[in-house]
Chain A
Amino acid sequence: MIRLEQVSKVYKTSTRPALENVSVEVDKGEFVFLIGASGSGKSTFLRLLLREEVPSKGRVYVANFDLTRMARRRVPRLRQSIGCVFQDFRLLANKTVAENVAFALEVIGKPRHTIRKVVPEVLELVGLEGKAGRMPHELSGGEQQRVAIARAFVNRPLMLLADEPTGNLDPDTSQDIMLLLERINRTGTTVLMATHDHSIVDSMRRRVVELDLGRVVRDDARGVYGVGR
């Protein structure tokens, strides 16, 4: 599903590489935590997978796409097969819950009858049935993140990227969100989650890839957050 081969990324404005000689392979259906301190290269890792950046060296493959050789006009198709969730939810404040989810389908040109069918389905999956007509500001943080997950998942992507999805949530709500991500993972969707949250990583016991100063320093099949430190 994801393969990075000796990838390095150097930003023009920085002398130290953001990623250095990183090789990681993630299979279809895996659940992987990407951990590391701020500035360790997690965000660059995710941006490479979305092809918001291209590597300075090495190769990146996502879902059979060779991202290093991909033409710009094909990037939208890549992104349609990836769902994204962020710490700050990134919902549209002037649209309802259902409209926010529908937006993701409208802008890739899905027909209206499909949208009418799948939006309620995915809202039910994330536990927001009955809140379709609410505005984002009427929802709790946890509910807003559920909307964002619904939006990321509504097009049934092969892979879900989550950048600190629980960063703004209290522990109980975070736990709910993790349960939801697990549920999505069980449908066969690969989930890659960048996080700082020790307790979540420790309780889930999933694969952990740790970055430090742009290098992979650990890759455990069933890891915890703080081992060896």
Chain B
Amino acid sequence: MRASFVFSEVVTGLRRNITMTIAMIITTAISLLLLGGGLLVVRMIDNTKELYQDKVQVNIYLTNDVSASDKQCQNDPCKGLRSALESDPAVQTVEFENRDQAYERFKRIFEAQPELVKLARPEALPSSFNVRLKNPDRPEVIVQTYQGRPGVDSIGDQSQFLDRFFSALNGVRNGTFFMAGLMAVAALLLISNTVQLSAFTRRTEVGIMRLVGATRWYTQLPFLLEAVVTGLTGALVATGLLVGLKLAFLDDVLAQPIKSGVVKAVEAGDIAFVAPILFLIATVVSAFTGYVTLRLYVRT
């Protein structure tokens, strides 16, 4: 197999159908861009989950009379609850916060809204146990065990809020994957069409090749490589766009939540992780499409 010959055939073929080649690269690139975006969201979800993993707490709020009478948690039922929690195998740490401390924290959080602080009274805030779990994925264990015990008013489970947050992110991910899938279909059809067109415009060459006894690989490899080259170019463009979008857009838009630690930033490393996947998919899919097309439509 003469590499220079095959290579020059590929270049000629791509240049001959230059408009189709460009259309093919663009659709492939957009499809891969969406796929890459989806994968980045997946990574962001994972990273952000990690970020929250050790911060998720279950708050056990005590009833009003316990909050008012037992500020140091020295009597039952507060004392009993605390020792129960401390000896609970599912619990990692327990912190008691009385209503004065809660009020201090409240004032700190709402510093910017003094009228809200003015309205609030310490008496409106309950004492609570802030419980950190050994297994943050299973807060319902605590809820079931301590709900309704004497002195317990209600149990706040932060993970419920996080679940909603992550399900929104999952929605974004599914949406991008869906769009990526649609674009991928368009890209596949374009690749298939271009391979057919390419084979058709070169039917004289292919006819001669067959007559003089060129093997199937020799006649078909140029077409296959054409598809793969455009696929890879598409992957390259998609990666470039991902980097560009991160620098020009994503970093700005998410600057605030990233700084305050709400979400994890998309790092260059994340793109470096996603890019090889895009290249691999581009190669496999374009080669496969090219091969199937040649099998189905081009006589050898």
B211–A84 touching, CB < 8 Å:
yes
Knowing A78-B213, A79-B212, A79-B213, the reply to whether A107 touches B207 (Cβ < 8 A) is no
- Which residue of chain B lies nearest to A84 when distances are taken between CB atoms in the complex? B211
Knowing A107-B5, A107-B219, the reply to whether A77 touches B213 (Cβ < 8 A) is yes
Which residues of A from 94 to 141 have beta carbons under 8 Å from B? 103-104, 106-109, 112
B213–A103 touching, CB < 8 Å:
no
Knowing A109-B1, A109-B218, the reply to whether A80 touches B207 (Cβ < 8 A) is no
CB distance from A109 to the nearest CB of B (A): 6
Q: Report the separation of the CA atoms of residues A32 and B124 in the bound assembly, to the nearest whole angstrom.
A: 113
Which residues of B from 171 to 229 have beta carbons under 8 Å from A? 204-205, 207-216, 218-219
A73, A76, A92: the one contacting B208 at CB < 8 Å is A92
**Residues of chain B with a CB closer than 8 A to A155's CB:** 212
Q: Report the separation of the CA atoms of residues A104 and B208 in the bound assembly, to the nearest whole angstrom.
A: 8
Q: Report the separation of the CA atoms of residues A151 and B207 in the bound assembly, to the nearest whole angstrom.
A: 14
Is A90 part of the binding interface, using a Cβ–Cβ cutoff of 8 Å? yes
A73, A106, A108: the one contacting B216 at CB < 8 Å is A73
A76–B211 touching, CB < 8 Å:
no
Knowing A109-B1, A109-B2, the reply to whether A103 touches B208 (Cβ < 8 A) is yes
Q: Report the separation of the CA atoms of residues A151 and B213 in the bound assembly, to the nearest whole angstrom.
A: 12
CB distance from B300 to the nearest CB of A (A): 8
**Residues of chain A with a CB closer than 8 A to B210's CB:** 79
B212–A104 touching, CB < 8 Å:
yes
Is A4 part of the binding interface, using a Cβ–Cβ cutoff of 8 Å? no
Interface residues on B, range: 10 to 19
Main secondary structure of the interface of A (DSSP, over half): helix
Q: Report the separation of the CA atoms of residues A103 and B208 in the bound assembly, to the nearest whole angstrom.
A: 9
**Residues of chain B with a CB closer than 8 A to A78's CB:** 213
- Which residue of chain A lies nearest to B219 when distances are taken between CB atoms in the complex? A107
CB distance from A43 to the nearest CB of B (A): 14
A50–B211 touching, CB < 8 Å:
yes
- Which residue of chain A lies nearest to B16 when distances are taken between CB atoms in the complex? A94
B211–A108 touching, CB < 8 Å:
no
Which residues of A from 125 to 174 have beta carbons under 8 Å from B? 151, 155
**Residues of chain B with a CB closer than 8 A to A79's CB:** 210-213
- Which residue of chain A lies nearest to B5 when distances are taken between CB atoms in the complex? A106
Query: Which of A77, A79, A155 has the most chain B CB atoms closer than 10 A to its own CB?
Result: A79
- Which residue of chain A lies nearest to B215 when distances are taken between CB atoms in the complex? A76
**Residues of chain A with a CB closer than 8 A to B219's CB:** 107
CB distance from B22 to the nearest CB of A (A): 22
Knowing A76-B213, A79-B213, A84-B211, the reply to whether A107 touches B218 (Cβ < 8 A) is yes
- Which residue of chain B lies nearest to A81 when distances are taken between CB atoms in the complex? B213
**Residues of chain B with a CB closer than 8 A to A112's CB:** 2
A106–B211 touching, CB < 8 Å:
no
- Which residue of chain A lies nearest to B212 when distances are taken between CB atoms in the complex? A104
CB distance from B191 to the nearest CB of A (A): 24
Q: Report the separation of the CA atoms of residues A90 and B214 in the bound assembly, to the nearest whole angstrom.
A: 16
A107–B216 touching, CB < 8 Å:
no
**Residues of chain A with a CB closer than 8 A to B215's CB:** 73, 76, 108
B205–A92 touching, CB < 8 Å:
yes
- Which residue of chain B lies nearest to A161 when distances are taken between CB atoms in the complex? B211
B205–A76 touching, CB < 8 Å:
no
**Residues of chain A with a CB closer than 8 A to B5's CB:** 106-107
- 29 A-B contacts (beta carbon < 8 Å): A73-B216, A75-B213, A76-B215, A76-B216, A77-B213, A79-B210, A79-B211, A80-B213, A82-B213, A84-B212, A90-B204, A90-B207, A90-B208, A103-B208, A104-B212, A106-B2, A106-B5, A107-B208, A107-B212, A107-B218, A107-B219, A108-B212, A108-B213, A108-B214, A108-B215, A108-B218, A109-B1, A112-B2, A151-B212
Closest 3 CB pairs between A and B?
Answer: A80-B213, A79-B213, A107-B214
Query: 13 new A-B pairs (CB below 8 Å) besides A76-B216, A107-B5?
Result: A73-B215, A79-B211, A79-B212, A80-B213, A81-B213, A82-B213, A106-B2, A107-B208, A107-B218, A108-B215, A108-B218, A109-B2, A151-B208
Interface residues of B (CB under 8 A from A): 1-2, 5, 204-205, 207-216, 218-219
Interface residues of A (CB under 8 A from B): 50, 73, 75-82, 84, 90, 92, 103-104, 106-109, 112, 151, 155
